[in-house]
Amino acid sequence: MVSLAPYVLKRPWLTKMLTPAANWYASAAGYRQLGLRYDDLLEEENEAVQIALKRLSAKESYERVYRIRRSVQCSYTHKLLPKDQWTKPEEDVPYLRSILAQVEAELAEKDALDSMTVIKKH
């Protein structure tokens, strides 16, 4: 996936300019009103995410399931959560993405090692 985020984050002035827009976009996306975090929306149906989910601590894993079930309930009843239960921007932290990046790096390394060509240098 191509992302502009690293490019933007490298330039403080650009980051400063775009942050309000990004915050507006995140709350307009609507998942925070259902009590979810951004990482709850990641697609689960692949190997890397499955491994990453198993590496969550018991507490994090429980809370993730709780948030998802609560949001599904909201969706069934066509209601949003009361405003005090919305996810606050500072709560919306990447708890899964860092683990996922690590798992993906491991899988990529495994693939690379499985299909390597050995070049002898001596």
Backbone angles phi, psi at 64, to 5 degrees: -65, -45
Q: Is 121 in the site for other proteins (CB under 8 A)?
A: yes
Q: What share of the chain is helix, strand, coil (3-state, %, to 5)?
A: 65, 0, 35
Give the x/- contact pattern for other proteins in 70-109, rule: CB under 8 A.
Answer: ------------------------------------x--x
- Minimal distance, residue 114 CB to other proteins, in Å: 9
Burial of 96 (0-12, 13-18, 19+ CB in 10 A): buried
Q: Is 58 in the site for other proteins (CB under 8 A)?
A: no
Q: Is 1 in the site for other proteins (CB under 8 A)?
A: no
Question: Closer to other proteins at the Cβ: 2 or 118?
Answer: 118
- Minimal distance, residue 74 CB to other proteins, in Å: 33
What does the buried/exposed string (b/e) look like for 45-77 if buried means 16 or more CB atoms within 10 Å of the residue's CB? eeebbebbbeeeeeeeeeebeebbeebeebeee
Rounded to the nearest 10 degrees, the angle between the axes of helix 97-114 and helix 47-54 is: 130
The only residue of 55, 69, 79, 97 in contact with other proteins, by rule CB under 8 A = 55
Interface positions with other proteins (CB under 8 A):
54-55, 106, 109-110, 112-113, 116-118, 121-122
